[in-house]
Chains A and B, each alone.
Chain A
Amino acid sequence: MNKNWPLWEIFVRSKNGLEHRHFGSLHAADAEMALENARDVYTRRSEGVSIWVVESKHITASNPEHNGELFEPAQDKIYRHPTFYDLPDDVKHM
């Protein structure tokens, strides 16, 4: 046979009120085993209250070589930030 266990990406919510954050990855035969392994590998000291597992092949990532086209257009839109607008100092609560 010789079929290798696929790779899974592990996301953990460290406590309620916080988002799930990427913790790392591991190999497992299926989603259920990925959850069990993630419990042992990433939460041995109560680091989490919830775990998501996603098979790595399902993640589509942006290419850092295209960072220019993707992210630079935001750089000259300074009018999206509150400090762009001139207000007299005596205006309060704004």
Chain B
Amino acid sequence: MSEAQQNNNGAERSLSLEEIFEQRIANDEKIEPKDWMPEKYRKTHIRQISQHAHSEIIGMLPEGNWITRAPSLRRKVALLAKVQDEAGHGLYLYSACETLGISREELYEQLHSGKAKYSSIFNYPTITWADMGAIGWLVDGAAIINQVPLCNTSYGPYARAMIRVCKEESFHQRQGFEIMLTLCNGTEAQKQMAQDALNRWWWPSLMMLGPTDAESIHTEQSMKWKLKRKTNDDLRQQFIDQTVPQADILGLTIPDPDLKWNEETGHYDFGEIDWDEFWQVVKGHGPCNKERMNARVGAWERGTWVRDAAMAYAEKQQNKKENQAKAG
């Protein structure tokens, strides 16, 4: 028995447990579901993992909009597979979250009541086919930058889910870029469509990486727990630096007059982000917040009888088996 466990003084004991816990994380040990953890660690992880899961589930809606209207069978199977992956990613993440002692029903309830958030980017509309390209290229690109460091996070089930998610995500971005490239090599009207999509998705994609470090209330604690390995501003800079040359290959213009290469820093300088817009969308006033929630809650409610019927059938089969066993 360790010294910490032998100490009977309640306050000192819990402090020591916490010190041991922080030490384990500092040593890059993983925390598993049944290990002791501070309540704040549990709560923060429930918040972040569930928000991530909800984003995958709501993220299916803007793209689902275009499945039936994909321009070719090749594009249609790819989009279907991508949306199906997103459902899968949501499920990996929900089950990782449930290991922290919250039920799936509670998680859904938090999403449906608006208590839990999802990524604000999915509150923008997908009005042309080029939006499927821009989402794959930019939104999945930003998501990958966010997610790769999480493969190394301290909570075992989350890290394992993220490894699987990242493995599957890279096709998402490539299929998006291919859509953009095809449009850019097409007619003038098609190229314009691609430019218009970039114009609309560029700034929301930058916002997707979260508030600036000065405004981000959770960053410090999350860095300590390795729930975050890089700050929002670092991730954003990385995203811009790698995306600008890709836009050059497409022959598209990033909609930021202040964007320019800075020889000294070795990074791109960029213009002011409209954070008022970001907070408006987070608070529920984006172009599609209502539509997304209605679609999600409606699907859940209309599915009730299916879930109940499946459960009733399972019980009936079980009873039948038991009765046969008794009779036999």
Q: List 26 A-B contacts (CB under 8 A).
A: A1-B308, A2-B308, A3-B311, A4-B104, A5-B311, A7-B95, A24-B95, A24-B96, A25-B95, A25-B98, A26-B91, A26-B95, A29-B310, A29-B314, A30-B314, A33-B314, A41-B88, A41-B92, A44-B81, A44-B84, A44-B88, A44-B168, A45-B168, A61-B34, A64-B32, A68-B1
Does B85 sit within 8 A of A, measured CB to CB? yes
Whether B310 and A5, one on each chain, are in contact in the complex, defined by CB atoms closer than 8 angstroms, is yes
Does A63 sit within 8 A of B, measured CB to CB? yes
CB A33 to nearest CB in B, in angstroms, measures: 7
Segment 1-35 of A: residues with Cβ below 8 Å from B: 1-5, 7, 24-27, 29-30, 33
Whether B311 and A63, one on each chain, are in contact in the complex, defined by CB atoms closer than 8 angstroms, is no
Whether B314 and A24, one on each chain, are in contact in the complex, defined by CB atoms closer than 8 angstroms, is no
Does A89 sit within 8 A of B, measured CB to CB? no
Whether B105 and A4, one on each chain, are in contact in the complex, defined by CB atoms closer than 8 angstroms, is yes
For this complex, into which size category does the number of interface residues on chain B fall? 20 to 34
Q: Give A36-65 as 1s and 0s: 1 = Cβ < 8 Å from B's Cβ atoms.
A: 000011001100000000000000010111
Does B285 sit within 8 A of A, measured CB to CB? no
Segment 154-176 of B: residues with Cβ below 8 Å from A: 160-161, 168
Does B283 sit within 8 A of A, measured CB to CB? no
- Of B81, B95, B161, the most chain A CB neighbours within 10 A belong to B95
Segment 257-310 of B: residues with Cβ below 8 Å from A: 307-308, 310
| Bound complex: CA A7 to CA B103 (Å) | 10
CB B41 to nearest CB in A, in angstroms, measures: 15
Q: Give B91-134 as 1s and 0s: 1 = Cβ < 8 Å from A's Cβ atoms.
A: 11001101000011100000000000000000000000000000
Which listed residue, B35, B96, B160, B313, touches A29 by the CB 8 Å rule?
Answer: B313
For this complex, into which size category does the number of interface residues on chain A fall? 20 to 34
Task: State the A residues within 8 Å of B (CB).
Answer: 1-5, 7, 24-27, 29-30, 33, 40-41, 44-45, 61, 63-65, 68
Does B65 sit within 8 A of A, measured CB to CB? no
| Bound complex: CA A30 to CA B318 (Å) | 9
Does B185 sit within 8 A of A, measured CB to CB? no
With A45-B168, A64-B35 already in contact, 11 other A-B pairs whose C-beta atoms are closer than 8 Å: A1-B311, A3-B311, A7-B104, A24-B95, A26-B95, A29-B313, A30-B313, A30-B314, A30-B318, A44-B85, A44-B88
With a cutoff of 8 Å between Cβ atoms, the chain B residues found around residue A26 in the complex are 91, 95
With a cutoff of 8 Å between Cβ atoms, the chain A residues found around residue B98 in the complex are 7, 25
With a cutoff of 8 Å between Cβ atoms, the chain B residues found around residue A40 in the complex are 84, 88
With a cutoff of 8 Å between Cβ atoms, the chain B residues found around residue A3 in the complex are 308, 311
Q: A24-B95, A45-B168 are in contact. Are A1 and B88 (CB under 8 A)?
A: no
Whether A30 and B317, one on each chain, are in contact in the complex, defined by CB atoms closer than 8 angstroms, is yes
The 10 closest A-B pairs by CB, nearest first: A30-B314, A29-B310, A29-B314, A25-B95, A1-B308, A3-B311, A29-B311, A64-B35, A64-B34, A41-B91
CB B205 to nearest CB in A, in angstroms, measures: 26
Does B15 sit within 8 A of A, measured CB to CB? no
Q: A27-B104, A30-B317, A63-B34 are in contact. Are A1 and B312 (CB under 8 A)?
A: yes
With a cutoff of 8 Å between Cβ atoms, the chain B residues found around residue A68 in the complex are 1
